[in-house]
């Protein structure tokens, strides 16, 4: 497929395209000034508005950073590959180019990879988990293949990432969903932090993500460690209380703990005592 020169002013960035990474633009501008645009921008035909009327234009499906660099250099035209992709294929091309880049953060990689899986399975429903076996649901094994190939195999071939890395990014993306946008660029935008967030309850996660989005330096991993330590301490306290307090006073003690705001200890006490039932082998006095 040969490239054609298109007027820069007729090109439009795709809605939902990844934010421009400023650190990449300066290097691209220098390279374009020296040797031009080596890899053409991928576009598809669309209608655009000019001077209050519709006109022929092109939407960028891959090459937004090259477009931005060319715009800042005031280039009149840029080399483009024109394709006729539908919306899903256009988004897939955009995601694949993003995943090939080395400047994606862990949160961005997780979001983009999970979204790529959604698109790939919409385009190839036979590759979904449980979608093989003559109508019988079966789990797809790592070595299984179809005419279109496994999602991880296809993604690895198109992005150069290992299948193990792809599986990890998908798991993070599916677990954290839209929270990843708020996490991007914060203190939580690390692999270990994303994994810790995925294990948290929705309420705990929402609180710490909100704090990170406000600019606080927080750690889901440290939060989880602190929580586990508090739970263990509460269990130890509850065990002692159940030994020291007579069964006849357990309901009163539980109510007092909840009233005092010691919910973690109260919950542990309920588990320890069987919600008020006598604990075999433990006696008062």
CATH 3.30.360.30 is right for the domain spanning 4-85: no
Among 210, 205, 136, residue whose Cα is nearest residue 176: 205
Note the pLDDT of residue 195.
Answer: 93
Q: What does pLDDT average to over the chain?
A: 81
Q: What are 75's two structure tokens?
A: 């280039």
Q: Where are the domains of the chain?
A: 4-85, 104-218, 223-273
pTM reported for the whole predicted model: 0.64
Note the pLDDT of residue 262.
Answer: 65
Buried b / exposed e over 42-63, threshold 16 CB at 10 Å, is bbbebeeeeeeeeeebbbbbbb
Residue 97's DSSP bridge partners are none
Note the pLDDT of residue 264.
Answer: 59
Q: Angle at CA 141, nearest 5°, toward 94 and 104?
A: 25
Which parts of the chain register pLDDT below 50? 132-147, 275-285
Residue 258, classed as helix, strand or coil, is helix
Residues 6+ apart with CB under 8 A from 267: 234
Among 25, 3, 7, residue whose Cα is nearest residue 79: 3
Note the pLDDT of residue 147.
Answer: 44
Residue 195, classed as helix, strand or coil, is helix
Note the pLDDT of residue 281.
Answer: 36
Helices (H), 103-190: 106-123, 151-159, 163-176, 179-183
Are the beta carbons of 46 and 59 closer than 8 angstroms? yes
Note the pLDDT of residue 4.
Answer: 94
> Order of strands, edge to edge, in the sheet holding 41-50?
4-7, 77-82, 41-50, 53-62, 11-13
Pairing of strands 4-7, 77-82: antiparallel
Query: 74 in the Ramachandran plot: left (φ > 0), alpha (ψ -120 to 50) or beta?
Result: left
């Amino acid at each position: 497929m040969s490239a054609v020169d298109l007027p820069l002013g007729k090109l439009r960035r795709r809605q939902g395209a990844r934010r421009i990474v400023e650190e990449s633009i300066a290097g691209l501008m220098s390279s374009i000034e020296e040797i031009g645009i080596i890899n053409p921008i991928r576009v598809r035909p669309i209608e655009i508005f000019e001077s209050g009327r519709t006109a022929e234009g092109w939407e960028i499906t891959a090459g937004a950073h090259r477009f931005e660099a060319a715009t800042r250099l005031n280039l009149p035209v840029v080399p483009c590959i024109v394709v006729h992709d539908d919306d899903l294929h256009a988004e897939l091309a955009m995601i694949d180019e993003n995943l090939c880049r080395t400047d994606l953060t862990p949160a961005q990689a997780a979001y983009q990879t999970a979204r790529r899986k959604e698109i790939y399975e919409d385009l190839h429903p036979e590759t979904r988990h449980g979608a093989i076996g003559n109508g019988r649901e079966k789990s797809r094994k790592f070595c299984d293949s179809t005419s279109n190939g496994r999602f991880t195999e296809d993604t690895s071939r198109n992005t150069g990432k290992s299948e193990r890395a792809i599986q990890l990014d998908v798991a993070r993306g599916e677990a954290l969903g839209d929270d990843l946008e708020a996490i991007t660029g914060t203190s939580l935008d690390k692999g270990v932090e994303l994994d810790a967030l995925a294990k948290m309850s929705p309420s705990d996660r929402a609180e710490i993500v909100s704090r990170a989005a406000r600019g606080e330096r927080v750690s889901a991993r440290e939060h989880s460690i602190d929580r586990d330590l508090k739970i263990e301490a509460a269990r130890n306290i509850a065990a002692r209380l159940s030994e020291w307090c007579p069964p006849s006073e357990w309901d009163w003690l539980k109510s007092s703990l909840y009233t005092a705001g010691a919910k973690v200890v109260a919950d542990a006490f309920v588990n320890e005592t069987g919600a008020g039932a006598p604990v075999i082998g433990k006696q008062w006095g």
